[in-house]
Each structure stands twice: as structure tokens, then as C-alpha cells.
Amino acid sequence: MTDGRTVLVIEDEHAMRRLLRASLEAHGFVVVDAATMAEGRRAATSAAPDLVILDLGLPDGDGLDLVRALREWTRVPIIVVSARDREADKIKALDAGADDYVTKPFGTGELLARMRVALRHAAATSATAAVVLEVGPLRLDHDRHEVTVDGAAVKLTPIEFRLLAYLMQHAGKVLTHRQLLREIWGAGAVEHTHYLRVHMAALRRKIERDAGRPHWLLTEPGVGYRLRDQDDGQA
């Protein structure tokens, strides 16, 4: 579970970064560290970590904003470590998309245990996701990050790709606005239905023959959306 896994530590305090690096490397992890939000954002892209440990009090911004930014394109497990110990702070972090919250000071054993849980959950989620999904004319390849419609490649943004993947995984099922918002943007976005309207409209323009009269990506008025699971012949 740990050997060779890459952990990104985003922490502005040098002594804490050094302690975390020593502890994690001693348990078989590969450690990449960053001292600011900007460095952390770049490292999250270049290092492709298996898990992120994030302090909230960073010199160039609030770590919560970084959690939200990461959740726009990745589901990598994020464990917040912070001196903020109020329940409201923990709720904000979890709603923003963090997987767990550890209050400073903490024991190395506790942190490692929480990391193992987060990695197990991530592995279980990944194992249940099909590498290639096919529904009607749509084909989505997770590994290649490619989507084709009737064999023709279409270019999707990261959010559009995740939306389509989730819809295809649940083809034929009505997904509520809250379900989709929680899955794609995190629990903190469940009231922002305008996010869905904008991205669903863009997705329809790319996968439907006539975006104004969608055949595959259907609206369930007042409830949510449904991806048709088979062609019923009605254009």
C-alpha cells in the first residue's frame, strides 16, 4: 500500500516539512514538497501524487482555495493538517473536497493510519471504474483520457470529461443536481446548479448532433440529468 507511492506535502513551515519527509520516507513513500500554494499547484500537476498532505495556512493564500482548485481536475486523496481545530474549520475543509482532517499537533502513527485509509478508498474507487466506457455512439477511455463520438475524437475539458464519465458509469439512471455537483465539484458546491447548466450545455455541443434537441444527454426537469443507455430510435 505504501511502497513507491508519491506524497505531495504542501506546508510552509520548514521544520514540519522536514519531519514529514523523514517520517514518510522511512515508511516507503516518495515525498515531493512545496512551501506555497503556487508551488503546490505546480507540483500536483508535474508529480502526479498518489496523495496530498496540505496545511491551510500558506503564505500566498488559504489552503481551502487550493483544495477547491485541485478538485476541479483530480480526485487524488487530500488530507488537511492544520492548527485550526474548530469544528467549523473541519467542515469547511471537508466540504471543499478534502478527504480527511488532522489537527496539529498530531502523532505520526495517526497520520499514517489516515493515509492508509485514504489510499485504500482511492484504490477501491479506481478498481470499480471501467477503463473504457461505451454507451451508444460514445466511447470514453480513462487511461488515454480520450472521448470519441461515432469514432470521431472530441476534445473535452477536465470537468467535461469527469461529468461524461460519471454519466456513462450510471447510464440510464437519473442523477440529481446535488449528486452531480457533489461528485464533480465537491460537497461545498451542491447549491451551485449554474455550474451544471454551463458545463452540460458545453458537453451537449460536443457530443450531440443537435445540442438544441439532445438525444443522449437528457434533462429531467427539476431533478437533474440522465444519459440515455441505449438508442431507442427516436432522433
Residues 67 and 115 in one domain: yes
pLDDT at 231: 64
Residue 233 lies in a domain: no
DSSP character string of 17-50: HHHHHHHHHHTT-EEEEESSHHHHHHHHHHS--S
What's the average model confidence in pLDDT over 153-168? Answer: 91
Last residue of a domain, one of 67, 101, 128: 128
Residue 51 lies in a domain: yes
Residues 122 and 148 in one domain: no
Residues 16 and 109 in one domain: yes
DSSP character string of 132-185: EEEETTEEEETTTTEEEETTEEE---HHHHHHHHHHHHTTTS-EEHHHHHHHHH
Q: Which domain holds residue 25?
A: 6-128
CATH number at residue 146: 1.10.10.10
pLDDT tens profile 14-30: 999 999 999 999 999 99
More confident residue, 11 or 143: 11
pLDDT at 127: 60
Residue 232 lies in a domain: no
* Cis check: omega of the bond before 221, within 30 degrees of 0: no
Residue 17 lies in a domain: yes
Residues 12 and 120 in one domain: yes
Q: How far apart are CA 77 and CA 119, in angstroms?
A: 7
For 51, phi then psi, to 5°, come to -160, 145
Last residue of a domain, one of 113, 128, 143: 128
Flag whether pLDDT at 94 surpasses 80: yes
Please, which residues have CB within 8 angstroms of residue 71's CB and are 6 or more apart in sequence?
Answer: 96, 97, 185, 186
Last residue of a domain, one of 83, 104, 128: 128
Question: Structural domain tally of the chain?
Answer: 2
pLDDT at 84: 86
What type of residue sits at position 106? F
Please state, for a pLDDT cut of 90, what percent of the chain lies above it.
Answer: 57
More confident residue, 100 or 124: 100
Residues 93 and 162 in one domain: no
Q: How far apart are CA 30 and CA 7, in angstroms?
A: 6
